[in-house]
Amino acid sequence: MAKFIPVDTFDIVIFGGTGDLSRRKLLPALYHRFVDGQIPEASRIVGVSRSELSDADFRSLARDACKTSTGEDFDAKAWTQFEKLLSYACLDATKEDADWEALTSRLSDDDRPSIFYLAVTPKIYVPICQAIGKAGLAKGDARLVLEKPIGTDLESAKAINAGVGAVFSEDRIYRIDHYLGKETVQNLLVLRFGNTLFEPLWNRTAIDHIQITVAEDVGVGDRAGYYDSAGAVRDMVQNHLLQLLCLIAMEPPNSIEADEIRTEKIKVLNALRPVRSKYAGRDTVRAQYGPGTVNGEQVKGYLEELDEGESGTETFVALKAWVDNWRWSRVPFYLRTGKRMRSRHSEIVVQFREAPHAMFGEDQAHSNRLIIRLQPDEGVQLYVQIKEPGPGGLRVQSLPLNLSYAETFQVRYPDAYERLLMDVVRGNLALFMRREEVEEAWEWVDGLLEAWDDAKVPMRTYSAGLEDGPVESRMLLREDDRDWWSNGK
């Protein structure tokens, strides 16, 4: 059974309270935590947006959102308790003459923490923060939560960080990367630093290379407007993939205190070798999906989904990265992410080197491989060489020691936002990004995008629904005599 330790009473204000993130993730996450008894009944959840809605309208929108997210498990009785926490304030927070009283009247006046969650476009992070400050709400233990992407490049990220930092001190800013809230991602820390088995081997002497894959079967859907200005590198690599790389590559932190972990992650970002124009065409692949079949359904290509019908934005990226330090010298990190691939699967593969002497002959073709599956079917597999049973000769097979979370723990898997929201209330910053992390990651990504421009790296295409995306992504590894890991192949 999962244990839920109740948090202290809090107020949370969601700017963009009627938007997509709020409906898909934030409101359901708060509902789940409430149903499990983790959120005290005196807490308040205030939705804010520009739409003219009543409290009752907002509750009904939230009810639909939570019902959609929970399906048959929706608990109508618990809902009647939960909805008492909800209220709504109509407010255009960027306007000088905005009526902040609509919001302040909904907040409590005791000394509980107020949490301001900006589920809005990053372009208005700074004006909203300034307005929060002017309304006198950034006081005491107030906290600010920012969604990624923090800006669109290093310069805009710095401007946002400086602007919000003028109102909230760094220790009260929670920059969310929801991948850090995924169970398996947190488990990476435990796997590496809670066992003696892996750490002595976790370096260039035993590891051949590392693969990080975040594949999605969905297309850009109704987010085309945002996505076309971002692309896979800004949307996924700058944050989720680099964060995973940091957790894999970092040195053991002294403790699990937020700053200890974050300092180690920043060192990895510092050690990431910039992508030079000269090698951009060789070490990276950018591509867009064309029409194809995904999960048995015929789907449009990326360009057909856009109003203009043309775009230079990548929906897939694969690249070879290097962490230039003692531990990882000459160990490539292969990263790839894409939309409209065959299935949704995210995993990290740690490929160990071959045994130095193949005494079992050809059969011993495979070396050890550790697979950390983030989704779906969260779990860990360690491939080892095993003798096939039977008296006829000695044949070796590579088979997994399999730890499936679902089978082992038999609990509902909390969404990443459930964990992260409760961490904000507890004041635990360990799973949130520090200012320098975001900026270092942008610096590297800006370099990659510039190298693409300089070297005119061609845009490849792939049919929607392909397992591995464009063929060039395969070639990237074949050039090094390696292959992407595909389950069972």
Nearer to ligand BG6, 216 or 283 (CB): 216
Three-state SS at 72: helix
- Supply the minimum distance, in Å, between the C-beta of residue 344 and ligand BG6: 7
Q: Select from 342, 280, 333, 338 the least CA-distant residue to 313.
A: 338
Torsion on CA atoms 269, 273, 275, 278, rounded to nearest 10: 170
- Supply the minimum distance, in Å, between the C-beta of residue 464 and ligand BG6: 15
Exactly one of 208, 216, 217, 283 binds ligand BG6 (CB under 6 A); which one? 216
End-to-end CA distance of the chain: 35
Nearer to ligand BG6, 235 or 446 (CB): 235
Nearer to ligand BG6, 235 or 418 (CB): 235
Structure tokens at 338: 């894409």
Nearer to ligand BG6, 216 or 446 (CB): 216
- Residue recorded with tokens 């009526």: 99
Of 32, 178, 209, 240, the active-site residue reads 240
Active site residue 178: no
- Tell me if 43 sits within 8 A of 85, measured CB to CB: yes
- Tell me if 476 sits within 8 A of 320, measured CB to CB: yes
d(CA 389, CA 224): 54
d(CA 11, CA 32): 17
Q: Select from 20, 36, 117 the least CA-distant residue to 69.
A: 20
- Supply the minimum distance, in Å, between the C-beta of residue 413 and ligand BG6: 12
Q: Select from 65, 319, 100, 94 the least CA-distant residue to 210.
A: 319
- Supply the minimum distance, in Å, between the C-beta of residue 14 and ligand BG6: 17
Find the radius of gyration of the CA atoms of the chain: 24
- Supply the minimum distance, in Å, between the C-beta of residue 369 and ligand BG6: 22
Please give the size of the binding site for ligand BG6, defined by CB under 6 A. Answer: 2
d(CA 73, CA 140): 38
Nearer to ligand BG6, 337 or 473 (CB): 337
> How many degrees, rounded to 5, is the angle at CA 215 between CA 212 and CA 218?
160
Q: How many CA atoms lie within 13 A of 450 on its CB side?
A: 11
- Supply the minimum distance, in Å, between the C-beta of residue 388 and ligand BG6: 37
CA distances from 106 to 54, 102, 213 (A): 13, 7, 44
Q: Select from 33, 37, 114 the least CA-distant residue to 422.
A: 33
- Supply the minimum distance, in Å, between the C-beta of residue 220 and ligand BG6: 8
Q: Which residue is nearest to ligand BG6 (CB)?
A: 235
Nearer to ligand BG6, 283 or 415 (CB): 415
- Tell me if 39 sits within 8 A of 424, measured CB to CB: no
Nearer to ligand BG6, 235 or 314 (CB): 235
Task: Tell whether residue 235 is a contact of ligand BG6 (CB under 6 A).
Answer: yes
Task: Tell whether residue 314 is a contact of ligand BG6 (CB under 6 A).
Answer: no
- Supply the minimum distance, in Å, between the C-beta of residue 338 and ligand BG6: 11
35-70 b/e (C-beta count within 10 Å ≥ 16 → b): bbebbeeebbbbbbbeeebeeeebbebbbebbbebb
Nearer to ligand BG6, 416 or 449 (CB): 416
Residues facing 46 on adjacent strands? 13, 87
Task: Tell whether residue 11 is a contact of ligand BG6 (CB under 6 A).
Answer: no
Binding residues vs ligand BG6 (CB under 6 A):
216, 235
Which residues have a catalytic role annotated?
240
